[in-house]
Amino acid sequence: MKSGPLGLDPELLNACVSCGLCLPHCPTFRVTGLEIASPRGRIAAMNAVETGMAPLKRPFIDAMAECVQCLGCETACPSGVRFGRLMEDSRATIAHRSGLRALLSRAFGAIAYRRLLPNQHVLHLLSWVLLVAQRMRVMPKRFRSSVPRLTRHRLRRTLNVTVGGNPDVWLFTGCVMDAWLQKTHVATAAALRSTGVRIARPDSRAGCCGALAAHAGRRDIARSLAKSVVAAMPGAAPIIVNSAGCGAALKDYGHLLGDADAERFAARVFDISEWLVAQTASPLATEARTSIVIQDPCHLRNVQRTHDSVRLLLGGAFALLETNDDGMCCGAGGGYAANQPDLSTKITKRKAKALRDAGASTDVAVCSSNPGCTFALEAAGFKVVHPAELYADCIAPDRGEPRNG
Ligand code: SF4
Ligand code: SF4
């Protein structure tokens, strides 16, 4: 049953007992010290709006927008509060309110999420425009940590994988990963092929998973993108994803689309490390083990909860160094770095210190499996590599050449 202006499920809302155990795990609380910037404060604010004690206006809207949606609070909560569902529902209501500002925001969302991100040709063209803007130093400051340093090499199309067909496994390629991290796709393809499977990538219908639209409260667009992604990868073959955010989104299609087909689709989705660990043993070090600092993307740790697969996959070949911050968010959060640049920068600085304390340096790289985290940490001066790249370097030095699929 749903009630009140936000349409939240009262059972979910009332599950919070205000114990505050989630507060130390919330990055926005840690950098502001403000109750309204904590999970408990945000839930209290939702409650106030739902019961008519506060209007659905600013500062409530700002408090919701300042949440990174990292879900560190969900992992920490002993009462099982589904904070992510509450935040998604609140944002969906906020996104569809009346007024000029909301109208403009919806128009921007329709262009960005429906027309730009899912269209590889448009995204590729825009990437060249951004490259020129970076060279001319006219890139808006707020995009500096969410758009990586673009080069001709970075924008080269190097992935050689069959499109469509009837593969043993699908490699989901997505939008930003495909535009700016093709080297990770090439490594992922090599890692998959090393297990003897035939792989294929979906056609252009699977251009974007819809995660950014869903996080912005645009579930209408997210649903339309999700239906298209489902249609592009028919059959029963596993779907392998190398972006933690996209993997979390695809695994949530059952909830987003609310039907049995979507549930079956979601059950076929695996993070690349999760899938490789189930298929094969960790490669063994042949010489002195290289040190690597592990960074857990929130969508791998708090949503998919498969972050230990990275350690199992790489632990035999690398000396894994851990941060002492309980996997705290890096502040990238999809579009968060662009929408909340000040808060995002403060959170990233905390993460950078934790990574340096763990041993990250110009010689010791950080291992991350999410594009947003990768770009934010690169902007903070770190060398960032994906687990699939480390794995592929161990087992397939001639990677890039398709053996099958
Ligand atoms: S969300 Fe969970 S941990 Fe946080 S205050 Fe509420 S009950 Fe406590
Ligand atoms: S999702 Fe993350 S930023 Fe938002 S309230 Fe929870 S811990 Fe804080």
Q: What is the DSSP string of 315-342?
A: TTTEEEE--SSTT---S-TTTHHHHSHH
The reported pLDDT for the residue numbered 1 is 58
Q: Is the pLDDT of residue 6 over 70?
A: yes
* 3-state helix/strand/coil string of 344-381: HHHHHHHHHHHHHHHCCCCCCEEECCCHHHHHHHHHCC
319 DSSP β-pair partners: 291
The reported pLDDT for the residue numbered 401 is 46
* Least confident window among 167-176, 227-236, 388-397: 388-397
Q: Is the pLDDT of residue 405 over 60?
A: no
Q: Which candidate, 314, 321, 387, places its Cα nearest to that of 356?
A: 321
The reported pLDDT for the residue numbered 396 is 65
Overall size of the chain counted in residues? 405
The reported pLDDT for the residue numbered 378 is 94
Give distance in angstroms: CA of 287 to centre of ligand 2.
Answer: 41
Q: Which candidate, 181, 227, 220, 186, places its Cα nearest to that of 205?
A: 227
Out of 73, 75, 86, mutate this one to test ligand 1's pocket (max ligand atoms within 8 Å of CB): namely 73
Q: How far apart are CA 342 and CA 395, in angstroms?
A: 41
The reported pLDDT for the residue numbered 103 is 78
Give distance in angstroms: CA of 88 to centre of ligand 1.
Answer: 17
Give distance in angstroms: CA of 73 to centre of ligand 1.
Answer: 7
Tell me, what DSSP letter sits at residue 8? B
Mean pLDDT to the nearest integer, 185-195: 95
Atom of ligand 1 nearest to the CA of 76: 3
Chain-centre distance for alpha carbon 7: 26
Q: Is the pLDDT of residue 395 over 90?
A: no
Q: Which ligand is nearest to the CA of 215?
A: 2
Q: Which residue is it, tokens 């099958």? A: 404
* H-helix segments, 66-210: 72-76, 83-95, 100-109, 120-135, 176-180, 182-193
> pTM for the complete prediction?
0.92
Q: Which candidate, 94, 44, 54, 86, places its Cα nearest to that of 69?
A: 86
